[in-house]
Structure 1
Amino acid sequence: MTHNSRTVLIEANRLFREGLKHLLAGTRFEVGSEYNTIDLALSAEVTDAAPELVISGQPVKDEADLRAIREAFPSARVVVLADDLTVDVLRAAMGGGADGFLIKNVSPEALIQSLQLIMLGEKVFPTNLASMLLDMNAISPQQSIRGLSPREQEILQALVTGASNKMIAIKLGITEATVKVHLKTLLRKIDVNNRTQAAIWAMNNGFTADGAPTPTRNLYAVSA
């Protein structure tokens, strides 16, 4: 099978797959290539224009799954559609660099809006993600933020919400170039490689969209 569309859908449940195709028909996200598994999608021959979007409803076992998708479709945004929100799946999605993580019971309107934001370069995750922690054994916030300047903490807090450099600059009243400088220093201080890993680190250490830091809380499955 070959890719004949700029959107690729990976979903084993035929009924859900057909429903999603119907929902996206007539939009810029119309599905033209579909696969039952990630392995089938990765082994398919690409002969047409490179896909812009990959939507995977298949369970993501670990970060390697998403990295493999990114390698196969390097120019595409990658969105995970999960049955529910669990620690392992969310960790794999964020660690693997997913551009979006949505629950399958999301409303049609919210799905389309989320895909539009993702194609604009925004990161889209469940609205209550910022209040969740991926590691129940995280060190205390008082220890973890030691060495971070107030500005770096503000930027770290913004990363939890998925804000872009431009959005952070507007919110803090500084230039994008200044944000990049702070971000580079911040990544070095907390010993991570990118903004997604920084967001995970922040949540592990009590940062939320409302303030930083807060007491550690457990992660529970929720609906998007």
Structure 2
Amino acid sequence: MPQAPITVALVDDYDVVLLGVAKIIDQYRDRVIIAEIDTNQPLRDTVDVVLYDAFAQPESDREEIGVLIRSPCARKVIVYTWNFHPELVESAQRQGVHGYLSKALPAREFIAAIEAVHAGEIVISDPPGRARPVTGLDWPGRGEGLTERESEILALITQGHSNAEVSSRTFLSPNTVKSYIRAIYRKIDVSSRTQAVLWGVDNGFSPDHRRIDHWRGGP
């Protein structure tokens, strides 16, 4: 008998991020199928794998990962991120995640990693270095030329976090955060933090709050 596709729930605070991931997975729907997409909503369906996209999430708080690990609806939990700071990876493993995957993985390797986790393996990607994200990913501000890291920092600023808090949450040095902020200001043509926040609010950098059930005919 053919094996049923692995059911996956996508979790993040931003629709545009999750929809980009969903489009990648959808190319392999004979192997992996999306059951639901949750933005700031608790899991509803029991799924084989929860894929937690760490874009603009308070990773250093670790709260969301723990909630997913403890959820009876999540058989396996994978973190999907560019941030491979050793403390983050170790913390995620201590909490019991089954995978910590890089956004630099090619799509076929990404799907293979989900399948390996479903089969019972613990999969930790190599740090991504300067590799670009897999084709098809999306994030707020991409159309304006913002990289995913720049967009994540702008999202945290839009949420009201200080430079010190952004540094703590992203595990970037304060000077690196300042460099990113200067680059962000140039790309969105603003000159102050207030202008940047207003631009962020108007351009999709505020977290979403909804669920998409049974995306494209999922279970």
Instruction: State TM-score, norm by structure 2.
Output: 0.47
Rg bigger for which structure?
A: 1
Instruction: State TM-score, norm by structure 1.
Output: 0.46
Larger RCO (CA under 8 A, 6+ residues apart) = 2
